[in-house]
Amino acid sequence: MPLSLRKIGKFFLPVFGLIFLFPQSYACTCPAINSPEVEKKHADAVFSGKVVKANATDRKLKIDLRFPFIHFIEWRTRVEFSVKEVWKGQASPEVGIMTIYGFHGCTLSFKEGDEYIVYAYGNERDGMYTHKCTRTALLLDASEDLTRLGNGIRPEIPTLKSALPAIGSMFLAIALPVLILYIYCLNRRKQQAG
């Protein structure tokens, strides 16, 4: 009985998918965790805060297309924090961090409502991230970090004056279409009357 292309395809396509499309798996192996001072020196931002949103919709998929394998390396999810104290980096009242849900085991899971001390890397433009191999931990478990880092800076709460440009833009975005519609209706009445 000769083999048809359909039978060959039914066998080789799943095998091809398993070999070439699925990623390699990695175990999370971290080097020895540094002291809070050393970790602060290496990190781009260090802050404590409460998780406001754990699964924000800003998701990114990174794909490695190097031949001969195509690997879906990581899936990133944004976690939003309400910042309480800052030891390094910009003292913003809110910060977004990317968690990397890769196929390595170093993913950190954040729970909404819990407070953490976060050692983050990267920048606001390209995205900040953290993982298990940093000193990022629940704030309840970070007493050594809090003692050794000392007092941080409390971020300024936005005032009405700092929010005015945003309110002005929102007013303009609402008022301009209403004004255009009003002028259109006036012109239409004039045309119907005349």
Q: What CATH number is associated with residue 115?
A: 2.40.50.120
Residue 103 confidence (pLDDT) above 50: no
Which helix (DSSP H) or strand (DSSP E) does residue 101 occupy?
Answer: strand 94-102
CA distances from 100 to 24, 62, 104, 136 (A): 16, 10, 9, 14
Closest Cα partner for 38 from 148, 176, 129? Answer: 148
* Contact (Cβ atoms closer than 8 angstroms) between residue 37 and residue 148: yes
pLDDT in the model for residue 5: 67
Residue 167 lies in a domain: yes
118-167 pLDDT, tens digit each: 999 988 777 888 888 889 999 999 999 999 999 998 987 765 555 556 66
Same domain, 70 and 29: yes
Burial 90-109 (b: 16+ CB within 10 A, else e): ebbeebbbbbbebebebbbe
CA 25 to chain centre: 23
pLDDT in the model for residue 146: 93
13-71 pLDDT, tens digit each: 666 655 555 555 556 778 888 899 999 999 999 999 999 988 755 555 556 666 555 55
Coil, strand or helix: which one is 194? coil
**Residues 174, 175, 180, 181: is their CA dihedral positive or negative?**
positive
Coil, strand or helix: which one is 22? coil
pLDDT in the model for residue 32: 83
In this prediction, residues 3-12 reach a mean pLDDT of 67
Number of domains in the chain: 2
Same domain, 65 and 116: yes
Residue 31 dihedral angles phi and psi, to the nearest 5°: -70, 175
Domain range for 189 = 158-194
Same domain, 43 and 121: yes
